[in-house]
Amino acid sequence: MGNLRFILFFVAAAVAVLIPLSASAMNIPDASSIMRDLEQQKMRDLALPTFPKQPEKVVELPPLDPSKSVLIKEIVFEGNESLTTLALDLEFANQLNQNFDFTRMKNLADQVGFFYQKQGLWAKAILPQQTLENGQLIIRIFEGRLGKVEIEKSVAEGEELRFPDDRIRDFILNGQKVGSTFSILEFEDSVKNLNAVPGITASAVLRAGEELGETDVVINAANAPMVSGSLSLDGNGGRATGYNQATTSLSIDGPFGVGDQVTAMLMKSEALTVKSLGGSYPLFSDGTRIGLNITKVNVAISGSPESISGTYLLNLSKPFKQSTDMNVTGTASLTRKDTPDEVTADVLALNGVFSWPSTFLGFDSVNSVNLTSTTGFFYPKTNAEASTNGLYNKFGFNLKQALTLNDTDQLSLTLMGQVAFNNLDSGEKFGIAGLPAVRAYPGGEATGDHGYFFSAQYQRQFGPVFLGRTFFDHGFVVKNQNPWNDEAATGNYVQLSGVGIGGTWNLPGFMVNADVATRLGRNPVAQDDGNDSDGTHRNVRAWISVMIPF
């Protein structure tokens, strides 16, 4: 009951803060603009992956005893098949013509094993009995081979695992086969791809095989919860469609026991309804998934024509690399956009995401480069003067860096935007205002064919419950790539900036997000009466939401 009062208090606070002090005429958003803002918000909210810090292998060797050392002039490698002798010679050439005692020889053999691991291979290097005649050191290599793949199921009595055994084996054996040299990189990718299958969780254990040099893989698989979701209550809508919004998201994982997933979303405010239904399936055993999503947006504002827009999206996604030092994923999608009366556009988008850990200015960081190339054809002739119909192209980017300053503090930098080569329809433009961008302005305040948004955010963890932050937002757009008359060219370049503070409360059973921002400078696209596009004039804007997972 106490939690419920807390939720109602925050929703009421959102309503109170967001009621405009003064109001006038406002711009009416259409359904395609609403959909654009939702997609841009999703892009901004993309979380960076985590890369566990790898411990440095530091070997401290005792002082060299010259009386028990030998000058090594040549290193002979035996048993290597996966790596060529030339590759090994080049890697360890700097060890020649040095004095080695037994401890250093043993360490050199260990270094050969580490070198195999860096190449993603499993191997053990030893020192066989030898005379070290003429300064020749022999290192014998036993390359590990993949043995059996066993599956241990952790399920309740009478319950079936919601993913077939043969598909689990296909995932683990992707890129290698039983009896061949055991590839650590392929194995790690396979386990990550398997664990990403909706409906199950999976972990792997390696153990010695029955044959010498073989390594068996034991997969422990269990069912994950089939149904999960969340309810979100916020005051982050627009004046035209209603500030107060409720959003329900639902995910059903593995309902048919083949790694499938069904998702649904419903967003509702006074004059806005967004419905989304999607599904995906693991097409291959390398993490490739095919997905289908249908989204409908309905804007029904009293006194204005109803605006309805729909998208039908088919996508194919694949993780190309998932390692301790780099993640690479790619997605290709085809989208058809329509209204109840006509098809409005067909769109092809190619997306690549590259993420990696690094050190910047002495601080550990995680970096991400997200690039999207979009080619589409817009059919309607409703704005022939602006030349928004026909073939269009744009290039989108989303660059992120998160710097870990210490155990509690982090600095996050974001640069996202797009470059367009044509005048675009409203649904394809880039917005620099509202919750997805400069938080000191209402959503839809300034959009353009191309532009960028930059944000610097400093955050600190205050105990286990509260995360505080302060931020700077800045955006720039060119409203029309190719102005068609003097009016379209007037005020074609727009910049907005703002600063603010906020916080996230992770409480038992729900989470609260709140941001308060104020603008820097005046609004260059204000209406004649000085108000913003939503008909209000507030130098301080608040964004509050409550999310309840289930």
**How far apart are alpha carbons 231 and 249 in whole angstroms?**
7
| Residues 226, 199 contacting (CB under 8 angstroms) | yes
* Coil, helix or strand at residue 352: strand
**How far apart are alpha carbons 432 and 440 in whole angstroms?**
10
pTM confidence score? 0.84
Sign, CA torsion 58/63/67/71: positive
AA identity, residue 209: G
Whether residue 232 is contained in a domain is answered as: no
Q: What is the pLDDT of residues 324-338, one digit of tens each?
A: 889 999 999 999 999
Q: Which residues contact 102 (CB under 8 A, 6 or more apart)?
A: 68
Whether residue 284 is contained in a domain is answered as: no
**How far apart are alpha carbons 30 and 305 in whole angstroms?**
10
| Residues 11, 233 contacting (CB under 8 angstroms) | yes
Whether residue 255 is contained in a domain is answered as: no
* Whether the predicted pLDDT of 350 surpasses 80: yes
**Residue in 411, 504, 413 with CA at minimum distance from that of residue 462:** 504
| Residues 522, 445 contacting (CB under 8 angstroms) | no
Torsion of CA 483, 488, 493, 497, to 10 degrees: -140
* Whether the predicted pLDDT of 538 surpasses 60: yes
AA identity, residue 429: K
**How far apart are alpha carbons 508 and 154 in whole angstroms?**
28
* Whether the predicted pLDDT of 487 surpasses 60: yes
User: Is residue 211 located within the same domain as residue 103?
Assistant: no
Write the CATH number for 98: 3.10.20.310
When divided into structural domains, the chain yields a total of: 3
User: Is residue 79 located within the same domain as residue 25?
Assistant: no
User: Is residue 545 located within the same domain as residue 452?
Assistant: yes
Helices (H) and strands (E) in the chain, counts: 7, 26
**How far apart are alpha carbons 337 and 29 in whole angstroms?**
17
User: Is residue 434 located within the same domain as residue 522?
Assistant: yes
Question: Which of 223, 250, 268 corresponds to the end of one domain?
Answer: 223
Whether residue 352 is contained in a domain is answered as: yes
Question: Which of 95, 118, 142 corresponds to the end of one domain?
Answer: 142
User: Is residue 113 located within the same domain as residue 86?
Assistant: yes
Beta strands at 450-462 and 447-448: parallel, antiparallel or unpaired: unpaired
The predicted model gives 219-223 an average pLDDT of 95
* Whether the predicted pLDDT of 66 surpasses 90: no
Question: Which of 94, 118, 142 corresponds to the end of one domain?
Answer: 142
Domain limits for position 185: 145-223
Q: In this structure, what DSSP letter does residue 300 have?
A: -
**How far apart are alpha carbons 515 and 234 in whole angstroms?**
12
Q: How many residues does the chain have?
A: 550
- Region of 315 on the Ramachandran plot (φ > 0 left; ψ -120 to 50 alpha; else beta): beta
pLDDT band at 194 (very low <50, low <70, confident <90, very high): very high
Q: Show the tokens assigned to 387.
A: 């030349």
Q: What is the pLDDT of residues 502-519, one digit of tens each?
A: 999 999 999 999 999 999
**Residue in 226, 218, 288 with CA at minimum distance from that of residue 257:** 226
The predicted model gives 79-96 an average pLDDT of 93
Whether residue 414 is contained in a domain is answered as: yes
* Whether the predicted pLDDT of 8 surpasses 50: no
Residue burial 199-222, b: 16+ Cβ < 10 Å; e: rest: bbebebeeeebeeebbbbbebebb
User: Is residue 509 located within the same domain as residue 366?
Assistant: yes
AA identity, residue 170: D
Find where tokens 């610097």 sit: 456
AA identity, residue 44: R
User: Is residue 518 located within the same domain as residue 476?
Assistant: yes
User: Is residue 334 located within the same domain as residue 455?
Assistant: yes
pLDDT band at 26 (very low <50, low <70, confident <90, very high): low
Alpha carbon 387 to chain centroid, angstroms: 34
Residue 151 has a CB neighbour count (10 Å cut-off) of 16
User: Is residue 412 located within the same domain as residue 505?
Assistant: yes
**How far apart are alpha carbons 494 and 5 in whole angstroms?**
42
Q: Show the tokens assigned to 88.
A: 């090994």
Q: What is the pLDDT of residues 238-283, one digit of tens each?
A: 888 999 999 999 999 999 999 999 999 999 999 999 999 999 999 9
Sign, CA torsion 161/284/143/122: negative
For the chain, give the percent of residues with pLDDT over 90.
Answer: 66
User: Is residue 366 located within the same domain as residue 445?
Assistant: yes
Q: What is the pLDDT of residues 284-342, one digit of tens each?
A: 999 999 999 999 999 998 888 889 999 999 999 999 998 888 999 999 999 999 988 78
| Residues 21, 538 contacting (CB under 8 angstroms) | yes
* Whether the predicted pLDDT of 386 surpasses 80: no
Whether residue 264 is contained in a domain is answered as: no
Which pLDDT value is given to residue 303? 80
Mean model confidence pLDDT for the chain: 90
Whether residue 241 is contained in a domain is answered as: no
Write the CATH number for 42: 2.40.160
User: Is residue 18 located within the same domain as residue 81?
Assistant: no
Which pLDDT value is given to residue 30? 82
User: Is residue 71 located within the same domain as residue 49?
Assistant: no
**How far apart are alpha carbons 220 and 150 in whole angstroms?**
9
Whether residue 287 is contained in a domain is answered as: no
Which pLDDT value is given to residue 309? 92
